[in-house]
Amino acid sequence: MSKTRWTARRPAGRWSARLQALTSRRKRSRGAAELSVVVVTASLIAGVIFGSGLTRTAVDVADGLTWITDGPSGEVIQVNPATGRPEVRLDVGDDGDALDIAQYDGRLIVTNRTTGELTSFDLASILASGQQRVSTGGATDVLHHDGRVYLIDRSRGTISDIDPVTTDAIGEIWTSPEGIADAAIDGTGRVWAIDEKGLLTELRWSPGSQEFAHVDDRTIENSGGNSVLVGHERGVTVFGPDAGIVVQVGTGHDVVADAARLSGELEAPSSSPADLVPVSSPSTGMVAIVGQGMVREIGVAAIGCRQPGRPEVFQGLVYVPCPGDGKVVRLAPDGHRADADIDVADNGDPDLVVDDGNLIINVPGAPNGAIVHADGTVASIVRYDDSIPATPTGTTADPPLPPTTQSVTTLAHHDSTPPSVAPGGEGTPPGAGPGPGDGGPGGGGPGACSQGSTTCGPPSSPPSGSPSPEGPGAGTPTTDPDAPQPLQAPTGVTAVELPSGSVQVTWHHGGDPADSFQVQEPNGPPLVSVSGSERQTSVSVPPGSHRFTVTAIRDREPHRTSAPSNAVTTSGRPSGVANIRGHVTGNPNDTTASVTFSWDAAADNGSPVLDYTIVATDSTGGQTIVTAGTTAGYTAVCETTYCNPGPVTVAITARNANGQGPTVSGTLAYDGPEPPALPAANQQLVDDDSTTWQGTSLEGIGSTRLTLDAPADWADFTGTCSWTHTGNQKGSETATYSCDADEITVRIENGYARAPDNGIRRHSIVFTASNGVESITSATYAWETRQRTLCDRCQIP
């Protein structure tokens, strides 16, 4: 194993300036130490398990059970690490949906990144208690600390405290004017956010004022939109791949370092110890580990981990998943291999979950995964079992069908009392026998029961003055005051649109409690189910006008549905733009290119589009443009004429009052003029038999006429032709000429010649053809000139 160690080559006196440049703050910095960088070459070892898939999981609960995702089936799965087997499958999406989960005390929050739905589940009942719409893709994250849940929306540049039950926003939503590149939470509950221009902000939630209190700002120079944060017990580490930097702040021993091999989109854990901070750079096949006073850069691509995924720290080691390579690499803090690799079958995509003193290796789509125990031993687990039925979202497992009204009444009033035997026949139901005395009509004969009575037997004589059993009131049911009351329908259903675009539905319910409530639009499918103790929830619906009904549900009783709510009109974030088109046109006369493009407007989804942000990327760098229209353009500058900066990638994002819609990208190809083809190189252009020299003066002044016999590709060339003559006393000379010229005249300035050299001077010429982008040269032509000489010691006249 070889390694090279160096420190950044900066004089010690410039250290404070370097720190200020990287972490300039509006408050005084707490001091920092610069980290050195070590490149570690890992050696090769191997080990064994099973699988295939990738996701992200945050776990903070000590219940002996762990939830994992399974995107291929659209499910989340509860696994018991003690038994190594799954116990619950919860259907939360469609096959292939990208899922993230956050498991906190008694609650599971699932983000469906494909559909843009965030749902909170009560783990006691496995029922959804709240739901809201969020940005699709990887724009949202859920952070948690000490009973509080924060929703990070990078596309909107917002951080909100949300109710963990309803998912509704609480109090004031914090907004970053320059967007959010990443956010993290530390062990003290401070929320850290870095914007796309490198401003790192420290926030603290104030329950009293229900808003985020600003604690501190500091600018991380050379960081940008690809920056990622890792939280610690105190403070965070910032990885800035835009310029390859590492900055650790708020830990009490702030540090700064270069990490030039980190670039592109990085993968980092949500938290780690401050003295052992890993990050992966999939595009470069590198893993960096911050700790022990240095940054170690490990080229894991060399050991078969071509695109390392999100690492985790477990029991003092760094575990690095290798998506597509089907294994997990274990690294020591010094960057060397700590143990055998943990292999997964069939090139699986492992995802790591640290929970309850174990490291779970989840492999979405595979029947098996693995568990790493605290002592480092590895065991296989069953992560997916078809024999366990998947529970649909918002229901309990295998609910019984509701009975009919008659069967409910019978069960409520008769319980397990057997039918009496009456003259009408064995097993005659109560009240169905012959009447009074002889089994005839009236149901009061021997052995008969009045309908609704809980006991049967011979009738007793009515008290004096009481009506005869055959008279009015005969057979009237009696009421059991302890019997359950019929389930009532919810009332007073109201609907209010929330700032997020979802709808908050509230209702009342009287009488005996329901087991659960189900919210839907009239005659529509269920949208969300909540427990019977809830009277409010939020639902996600597409933009437009909506009404809602609430259905009360109780076991073995008919469902009761409310009257519709008030109508509410919802709006959402805009859709993506369509039909991106444009032109990229260079110029033969200068070094610029015109880039113009347009697109079809995004659907506003009920809220007018405010503007479009366009990020155009080309070989010269590109531009960021914000416009309210559907056309835009800019000028690219190259180093040559016929400027071709293409292909140009254009990423367009629409924004309305609800936030940004999805980003849509298109590629524009160069469609401008092309430079002419160059003639063949190293050809001779001069007719040797037609060269003439004229000059008789002692100073050697005259001219040479060169007759040209250029090949056809030179003579027909439409670019620029030039010649360079060498041999004059004052040096070389260059001039342009017409590519199809028959002859050129070259000025000769030899200077005085002495007798010993016989007045001979040697000259040469070479021709160049350029199309504005590249050039070639001809073969060199050489000739001699002769002139009058001075004697060896004669004075120059």
Distances in Å between the alpha carbon of 354 and those of 121, 334, 358, 464, 650? 21, 22, 6, 80, 39
Mean pLDDT of 521-532: 92
Model confidence band, residue 760 (pLDDT cutoffs 50, 70, 90): confident
Output the pLDDT for position 480.
61
Quote the tokens at residue 733. Answer: 């000379």
CA angle, corner 353, sides to 349 and 356, nearest 5?
155
Q: Specify whether the CB–CB gap between 77 and 86 falls below 8 A.
A: yes
Residues contacting residue 418 through CB under 8 Å, at least 6 positions apart: none
Q: What are the residues facing 308 on neighbouring strands?
A: none
Cβ neighbours around 541 below 10 Å, total = 20
Quote the tokens at residue 505. Answer: 């539905």
Model confidence band, residue 64 (pLDDT cutoffs 50, 70, 90): low
Distance between start and end Cα atoms, the chain = 77
Measured between alpha carbons, how far is 98 from 111 in angstroms, rounded to an integer? 8
DSSP 639: S
Q: How many CA atoms lie within 13 A of 594 on its CB side?
A: 9
Output the pLDDT for position 3.
31
Residues contacting residue 14 through CB under 8 Å, at least 6 positions apart: none
Quote the tokens at residue 267. Answer: 């993968």
Quote the tokens at residue 421. Answer: 């035997």
Mean pLDDT of 597-616: 93
Q: Specify whether the CB–CB gap between 289 and 295 falls below 8 A.
A: yes
Residue in 780, 782, 783 with CA at minimum distance from that of residue 683: 780
Q: How confident is the prediction for the chain on average, in pLDDT?
A: 80
637-690 per-position pLDDT tens digit: 998 889 999 899 999 999 998 788 899 999 999 998 999 999 999 999 998 877
502-515 per-position pLDDT tens digit: 898 999 998 889 99
Indicate if the pLDDT at residue 50 is higher than 50. no
DSSP 12: G
Q: Specify whether the CB–CB gap between 641 and 587 falls below 8 A.
A: yes
Which range has the top average pLDDT, 152-156, 438-442, 543-547? 543-547
Output the pLDDT for position 444.
37
Model confidence band, residue 225 (pLDDT cutoffs 50, 70, 90): confident
Output the pLDDT for position 481.
59
Give me the percent of the chain exceeding a pLDDT of 90. Answer: 47
165-201 per-position pLDDT tens digit: 989 889 888 988 888 999 999 999 999 999 988 999 9
Q: For the range 633-636, what are the long-range contacts, defined as Cβ-Cβ under 8 Å and sequence gap of 24 or more?
A: 633/582, 633/594, 633/595, 633/596, 633/597, 634/595, 635/592, 635/593, 635/594, 635/595, 636/584, 636/592, 636/593, 636/595
Q: Which helix (H) or strand (E) holds 660?
A: strand 659-668
Output the pLDDT for position 482.
63
What is the three-state SS of 722-764?
Answer: EEEEECCCCCCEEEEECCCCCEEEEEEECCCCEHHHCCEEEEE
Model confidence band, residue 345 (pLDDT cutoffs 50, 70, 90): low
Query: Is the pLDDT higher at 41 or at 237?
Result: 237
Indicate if the pLDDT at residue 634 is higher than 90. yes
Cβ neighbours around 193 below 10 Å, total = 25
733-754 per-position pLDDT tens digit: 999 999 999 999 999 988 888 7
List the single range of 221-230, 329-338, 454-463, 532-541 with lowest mean pLDDT: 454-463
Q: How many CA atoms lie within 13 A of 479 on its CB side?
A: 4
Cβ neighbours around 31 below 10 Å, total = 10
Measured between alpha carbons, how far is 429 from 415 in angstroms, rounded to an integer? 14
Cis check for the bond before 436: say yes or no (omega within 30 of 0).
no
Measured between alpha carbons, how far is 629 from 602 in angstroms, rounded to an integer? 11
Residues contacting residue 197 through CB under 8 Å, at least 6 positions apart: 178, 224
List the single range of 93-97, 148-152, 241-245, 413-417 with lowest mean pLDDT: 413-417
Indicate if the pLDDT at residue 577 is higher than 60. yes
Output the pLDDT for position 179.
87
Output the pLDDT for position 269.
95
DSSP H helical segments within 605-743, as ranges? 712-715
Output the pLDDT for position 75.
93
Which range has the top average pLDDT, 123-132, 428-437, 625-634? 625-634
Indicate if the pLDDT at residue 730 is higher than 60. yes
Model confidence band, residue 223 (pLDDT cutoffs 50, 70, 90): confident
Output the pLDDT for position 35.
56
Q: What are the residues facing 70 on neighbouring strands?
A: 75
552-565 per-position pLDDT tens digit: 999 888 999 999 99
Q: Specify whether the CB–CB gap between 145 and 105 falls below 8 A.
A: no
DSSP 398: S
List the single range of 43-47, 349-353, 743-747 with lowest mean pLDDT: 43-47
Measured between alpha carbons, how far is 510 from 532 in angstroms, rounded to an integer? 11
Output the pLDDT for position 412.
32
Output the pLDDT for position 626.
93
User: Three-state SS for 414?
Assistant: helix
Indicate if the pLDDT at residue 584 is higher than 80. yes
The backbone torsions φ and ψ at residue 408, rounded to the nearest 5 degrees and listed phi first, read -60, -45
Q: Specify whether the CB–CB gap between 678 and 714 falls below 8 A.
A: no
Give me the percent of the chain exceeding a pLDDT of 70. Answer: 79
CA angle, corner 566, sides to 560 and 570, nearest 5?
115
